[in-house]
Structure 1
Amino acid sequence: MKLIKGIKMKRLYTITEETKIIRKNDSAYYRSHIIETTKEEPSPYSPTQIINLNCKKYGSTLDGRKEVVSDILKSSSKLPIPVVPQRGIFMIPTASVTSEKCIWVSYHQIKDYDESDDKTIIFFQDGTSTFLNVTPNIFDNQFKRSSQVVVHFFRHTIFGEGPTRW
């Protein structure tokens, strides 16, 4: 536990290969709900705080990662974030990161996705699924943008080119 402005705060959640989703929680104390392959847990930190603090833990900031991805995609909105690129952990936002509706989905946890009543159903590697209140076209675009970023970071592995700097 850590003390922030006189309040005991739960230790920061560490994003790992097990993380599937980080979403906003409508609670006065628990600001996020995290879904992993084996458990679910609330967090007093907002999704953006969790992403930012994990980026810092692994050598950058959310703004730093956004800047790199913005250069790769030639875009500045709804950017996928390489949280721990060395381990292949990339998070896909379903909306603008400032939006209350933004849900972060782990790229490598997605097995497939499809349309269901103008929403998107995500099928995860572990056989579970969830509905997202985002159109399939928007999610498909976000997934493809994330794929571009993943290829950029792993170009040296895929194509045998020189090493990429993280």
Structure 2
Amino acid sequence: MTELKSSPDQNQITLGPTTMAIARMKDEYYGARIMDEIEGEILVKEIPLELIQSLCKTYLCTYEGLRRATALVLGYEKKTPILIHSEEGIYTCPTLSPYAEDCIWLFPRHIKKLEKINSTETKVIFKNNNYITVPVSLHTLEKQIQRTAYCAFYMKG
């Protein structure tokens, strides 16, 4: 497993092309755990949706604007994939409702493979061999990643 770091200062956090996943922490102090290809695992105060919203703003867009546009054009109303920056390959998808405590945001470009644990859990293995367990079935997760890939394909024209 990777080294665990904490970053109480939001200005030190860099989300972007190397971000692999963002998961909610059930902790008094930390709101999320960021899995990053280079930095390893980082604990932060913000919750995942706040981090996604902040990442969108970094690229001069809003989470709500991207969510609405994707829902309108492609019809993905629930668990809407978010294409933050197509040229840098930054796109993400929630495993559950973005407002659910157990929602994990995955960045599919880093996924190596998925393994079924049981009917309600899937192990996501990243290209650097780190992994995270998500509370959704393999079928549901495959469908969500496929939708995200279609969004990325659509944006490339």
TM-score tier (shorter): 0.7 to 0.9
Q: Does residue 1:25 correspond to 2:51, yes or no?
A: no
Q: Which moved more, 1:12-21 or 1:34-43?
A: 12-21
Identity %: 23
Aligned twin of 1:73: 74
Aligned twin of 1:15: 15
Q: Deviations over 1:52-90 (max 9, x none)?
A: 011011011100110121123213110111122220111
Cα deviation for residue 120 of structure 1 reads 1.1
Aligned twin of 1:143: 145
Q: Does residue 1:86 correspond to 2:84, yes or no?
A: no
Q: Deviations over 1:15-61 (max 9, x none)?
A: 22221110111122211111112411111111111100110110111
Cα deviation for residue 9 of structure 1 reads 4.9
Cα deviation for residue 95 of structure 1 reads 0.2
- Tell me which of 131, 152, 156 is aligned to 2:133: 131
Superposed CA RMSD in Å reads 1.6
Query: Which has more radius of gyration?
Result: 1
The 3-state SS of whatever aligns with 2:155 is helix
Q: Which moved more, 1:93-102 or 1:78-87?
A: 78-87
Asked if the contact 2:31–2:46 (Cα under 8 Å) also holds between the matched residues in 1, the reply is: yes
Whole-Å separation in 1 of the counterparts to 2:73 and 2:148: 10
Number of matched residues? 148
Q: Which moved more, 1:143-152 or 1:106-115?
A: 106-115
Whole-Å separation in 1 of the counterparts to 2:89 and 2:72: 19
Asked if the contact 1:73–1:145 (Cα under 8 Å) also holds between the matched residues in 2, the reply is: no
The within-5 A match list for 1:94-133 is: 94-118=95-119, 119-133=121-135
The 3-state SS of whatever aligns with 1:111 is strand
Structure 1 runs not aligned, ≥5 long: 1-7, 156-166
Structure 2 runs not aligned, ≥5 long: 1-7
Asked if the contact 1:22–1:105 (Cα under 8 Å) also holds between the matched residues in 2, the reply is: yes
Tell me the TM-score normalised to structure 1 length. Answer: 0.82
Q: Which moved more, 1:58-67 or 1:75-84?
A: 75-84
Aligned twin of 2:51: 50
The 3-state SS of whatever aligns with 1:70 is helix
Q: Deviations over 1:75-130 (max 9, x none)?
A: 31101111222201111100000111100011100122131222212121112333
Whole-Å separation in 2 of the counterparts to 1:112 and 1:75: 24
Tell me the TM-score normalised to structure 2 length. Answer: 0.86
Off by >4 Å, runs of 4+ in structure 1? none
